[in-house]
Structure formats: C-alpha cells, structure tokens
Structure 1
C-alpha cells in the first residue's frame, strides 16, 4: 500500500487527467486536473512476477479530456511461458473522446502469491 485508499479504476470516469507517468513496467501514476493522484502497481513478493506486458494505444490520448471509460477486465489466455503454475491477465481499458488505451498486466506465481494489480488514490502525505 502506498499510504492511500484502495479504489476501483472506474473512479476515474468523468475525471480529466493532466499527466501520466510510468515507472519501468511496474507502476503507472495518474494525475487529475483537480489535484488527485492515483497509482496502479503491484508490490512484488519472492515467488511472483507482475508487470505491464503491453500498452495498446497512446497514453497521451487520455490527457486533457474527461475519461468516458475506465474498467478492469480479467481474461483467460495462455501463459507467457508454459512452465508457470499460476498466471493472471488483467486489462485496464480507458477512453476519452480522443482515443482508447488498453494497459495489459501479466502476473505469474507458484499459486500461493498474489498476481493482482492494486489501484490506489493517494493521500497528500504519501506525495510529500
């Protein structure tokens, strides 16, 4: 946890983003025009790997216009590597009147660890 409040990505619908930053393949930070900050991430543990596998679309299409769609979808697809005991594909779909973006996360583990992505609205103390 990043000293914020866990929330659903759908909380972004109707909000206008003024910046998105990416930290390697492990985090995305969303900044709204009204001063809110959201973080999409996974806290890695020893026997798991969760990362952004792909971003389809241009993140700049999400800047400057209200979001009309922000949703999380899980899909059953084949694993990236055939040896993985457990895996999860999580898709985050966003849209404005300028375009669509799908962020594809991939998580794998031995089956005893989390493969999920966290989404938090950060409080001001976390940002200092």
Structure 2
C-alpha cells in the first residue's frame, strides 16, 4: 500500500497530543500520544523540488499538550522576485498548543508540470 492511500486532513491533529516530532528537512514525522504516526513529506519527481524551508517557533512547544490549531495554508505569492521558477508553491502548516505556536514553511518549485504539494499521511502500523 502506498502513502497516497493514507492521506488525512492536517486539521485532524486538533485535540490530539503529540509525543514526539522528527524533522529531517525532507519529511516530518509526528508520533502521537496513542502511538499513531503521521508523516509530512513530498515524493520527489524529476523536475521538481519540495522541502522544509523553515520552522518558525520551537517544535518542543507542541509536545505533551493538546493541539489547539492545525491549519494548512498555501500561497503562490513571490517573496523574492529575483528567483526564477516556472512554478512554485509555499505551504504553511500552522500548529499551536497552550505552550506555544509553530509555523512549518515548505517550498515547492517545478517546471509547472509536476506537483509542488506536501502530503500529510497516517503511517501504517506494522504488526
């Protein structure tokens, strides 16, 4: 079974408690208090690049407290007019708990024919 079969809404994190977060720059794994795991990533193809551009805030502020905000926002506005891309997308993941908030900023660029989106999937449990 592929990751695409496991897509879930990012907003489904609201009310859940995150136990651990792993950020490799290419993917972020959220492990929940109940053991469920979720993966934020992009399956790269030949003529595209999608990666974590920046994390604003402290990911540790999200651990151990119920998630109060889990929002995905996308934009194709240019923050740097000097960059030359055929197509690009900024995807912002906004998370907050009572302890603090974090914005995870992904940047995707391509020749216009490939996906620049970020996937948020439930990782299948192995028995």
Q: TM-score range by the shorter chain?
A: over 0.9
Please list, as runs of the form range in 1=range in 2, the aligned pairs for 1:1-128 lying within 5 A after superposition.
1-2=2-3, 5-23=6-24, 25-78=25-78, 82-125=83-126
Gapped regions of structure 1 (runs ≥ 5): none
Gapped regions of structure 2 (runs ≥ 5): none
Structure 1 consecutive aligned stretches of length 4 or more whose deviation exceeds 6 Å: none
More strand by share: 1
- Distance of 1:122 and 1:85 partners within structure 2: 32
Aligned length: 125
* 8 Å CA contact 1:79, 1:87 repeated in 2: no
SS in 2 for 1:77: coil
User: What CA RMSD, in Å, does the superposition of the two structures yield over aligned residues?
Assistant: 1.6
- Distance of 1:94 and 1:3 partners within structure 2: 23
Distance 1:124 1:94, change over 3 A: same
SS in 2 for 1:78: coil
